[in-house]
């Protein structure tokens, strides 16, 4: 079965980039533009992994992370942000990985593969 990844980011260009890159890696990819949409998709479509932007309009990624952890402690969640300063925020500790956004997605793709293998999805 093909692993399913949910990409959550309020920037359309990032969603598209990640979707194309992860599709090329052989994953099924869905996207969400905000926190409420992401929570709904996680509850009803059960992705195998989530990439989650921290700084979003409305509900930020840390709030999404906290809400998801209330009903799913096992789902691998990768926080992706352009801001390294969030690494010290206690709210990030519920994630499985914290990655600073870069135009080179090799590290992110490698870590996603590792997390999916660890979760038994690959």
Q: Where are the alpha helices (DSSP H) in the chain?
A: 12-24, 35-45, 61-71, 106-118
- CA dist list (Å): 61 to 27, 65, 68, 72: 22, 6, 10, 15
For residues 5 and 47, the answer to whether their CB atoms sit within 8 Å is yes
Taking the model in full, what pTM does it have?
Answer: 0.90
Q: With a cut of 70, say whether residue 116 has pLDDT above it.
A: yes
Q: Domains, the chain, ranges and CATH? A: 4-118 (3.40.50.2300)
Digit-coded pLDDT (tens) for 47-104: 999 999 999 999 999 999 999 999 999 999 998 887 555 455 445 455 766 777 888 8
pLDDT at position 92 is 47
Contact partners, residue 108, CB within 8 Å, separation at least 6: 51, 78, 80, 99, 102
Collapsed DSSP state (helix, strand, coil) of residue 59: coil
Question: Region 28-51: what's the mean pLDDT?
Answer: 97
């Amino acid at each position: 079965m093909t692993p399913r990844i949910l990409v959550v980011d309020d920037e359309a260009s990032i969603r598209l980039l990640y979707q194309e890159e992860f599709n090329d890696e052989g994953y099924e990819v869905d996207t969400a533009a905000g926190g409420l949409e992401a929570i709904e998709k996680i509850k009803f479509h059960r992705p195998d992994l989530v990439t989650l932007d921290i700084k979003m309009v409305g509900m930020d990624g840390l709030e999404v992370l906290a809400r998801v952890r209330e009903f799913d402690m096992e789902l691998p969640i990768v926080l992706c942000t352009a801001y390294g300063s969030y690494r010290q925020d206690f709210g990030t500790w519920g994630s499985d990985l914290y990655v600073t956004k870069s135009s080179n997605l090799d590290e992110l793709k490698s870590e996603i593969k590792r997390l999916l293998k660890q979760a038994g999805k690959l």
